[in-house]
């Protein structure tokens, strides 16, 4: 993670952290391990790989005709972004956040976003407001086409954008990790077919930001996150999965 004195991460890089898609220019990334990485992320976001699913290195080697070294590079990136856990004597499994972890993560995110929203309003410019509206348009397009993975990715990018526009690099780095972990929790525990964030809530927030209403916008972001958390089904899942079928198409 870069120190406060180094350059500000570009939006594309921050969004990559948030939604489980490593920047294409990351040192050491190859087309094959990036493909494996994205296949797992998409399968998780589409509910084809539930919590606790074991990911065998040998299975990946056979599916993608690659070495274990390549597979391990992809698994390390997935672990770094909290999509999977690397467990001793068991290998890689899809992360299974406990209900307590989920509540703690959402509580931390509410605390951070309560600080971000007022900063966004105070620093608002015509250009930043245009960026917010463009992000909402992209999110709405994904919702209309039924792209669940896109909903989750763009919902996370919207919140990352607000953190960027707040102008505080420390808050932005915190948000990158929190949004990444929240996106995983939502993908795993929200009912299939449900949206990550109702687009109207984001639209209402954007309107309040444009109107400079700090108190109302801060209240809305907290309510918004509480509503997302309330829609989750934090129950244990135990489902047998065929890895080849789950990753088909990727």
One fold for both 20-96+236-246 and 99-230?
no
Q: From residue 146, how far is each of 150, 153, 187, 246 by CA, in Å?
A: 8, 13, 15, 19
Q: How far apart are CA 50 and CA 41, in angstroms?
A: 11
Q: Which of 4-13, 85-94, 116-125, 225-234 has the highest mean pLDDT?
A: 116-125
* Confidence at residue 20, expressed as pLDDT on a 0 to 100 scale: 44
Domain 99-230 has CATH 3.40.50.300: no
Residue 45 near residue 149 (C-beta atoms within 8 A): yes
Higher pLDDT, 46 or 214: 214
State mean pLDDT over 100-112: 94
Higher pLDDT, 243 or 104: 104
Q: Kindly report, residue by residue over 122-162, the tens digit of the pLDDT.
A: 999 999 999 999 999 999 898 888 887 777 788 888 999 99
- Element (DSSP H or E) covering residue 49: none
State mean pLDDT over 176-185: 84
DSSP category for residue 8: P
* Confidence at residue 3, expressed as pLDDT on a 0 to 100 scale: 41
Q: Kindly report, residue by residue over 9-32, the tens digit of the pLDDT.
A: 444 333 333 444 444 434 556 788
Tell me the whole-structure pTM to 2 decimals: 0.69
* Confidence at residue 156, expressed as pLDDT on a 0 to 100 scale: 86
Higher pLDDT, 182 or 221: 221
For 38, phi then psi, to 5°, come to -70, -35
Write down the mean pLDDT value for the chain.
Answer: 81
Whether residue 242 has pLDDT greater than 70? no
pLDDT interval class at 196 (50, 70, 90): very low
CA-wise closest residue to 13 among 144, 172, 197: 172
* Confidence at residue 211, expressed as pLDDT on a 0 to 100 scale: 97
Task: Count Cα atoms within 13 angstroms, Cβ side, for 116.
Answer: 26
Domain 20-96+236-246: top CATH class: mainly alpha
Domain coordinates in residue numbering, the chain = 20-96+236-246, 99-230
* Confidence at residue 45, expressed as pLDDT on a 0 to 100 scale: 74
Exposure string of 12-36, with b = 16+ CB inside 10 Å and e = fewer, is ebbbbbbbbbbeeeeeebeebbbbb
State mean pLDDT over 212-223: 96
pLDDT interval class at 235 (50, 70, 90): low
């Amino acid at each position: 993670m870069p120190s406060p004195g180094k350059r500000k991460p570009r939006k594309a890089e921050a969004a990559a952290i948030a939604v489980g898609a490593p920047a294409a220019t990351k040192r050491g990334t190859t087309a094959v391990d990036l493909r494996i990485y994205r296949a797992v992320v998409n399968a998780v976001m589409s509910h084809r790989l539930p919590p606790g699913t074991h990911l065998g290195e040998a299975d990946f080697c056979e599916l993608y005709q690659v070495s274990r070294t390549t597979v391990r590079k992809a698994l390390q990136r997935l672990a770094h972004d909290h999509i999977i856990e690397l467990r001793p004597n068991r290998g890689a499994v899809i992360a299974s956040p406990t209900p307590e972890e989920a509540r703690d993560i959402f509580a931390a995110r509410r605390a951070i976003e309560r600080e971000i929203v007022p900063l966004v309003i105070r620093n608002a410019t015509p250009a930043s407001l245009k960026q917010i509206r463009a992000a909402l348009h992209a999110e709405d397009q994904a919702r209309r086409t039924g792209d669940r993975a896109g909903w989750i990715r763009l919902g996370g990018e919207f919140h990352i954008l607000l953190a960027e526009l707040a102008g505080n690099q420390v808050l932005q780095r915190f948000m990158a990790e929190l949004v990444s972990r929240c996106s995983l929790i939502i993908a795993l525990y929200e009912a299939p077919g449900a949206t990550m964030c109702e687009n109207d809530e984001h639209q209402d927030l954007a309107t309040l930001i444009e109107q400079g209403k700090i108190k109302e916008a801060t209240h809305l972001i907290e309510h918004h996150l509480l509503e997302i958390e309330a829609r989750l089904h934090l129950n244990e899942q135990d489902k047998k999965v065929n890895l080849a079928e789950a990753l088909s198409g990727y």
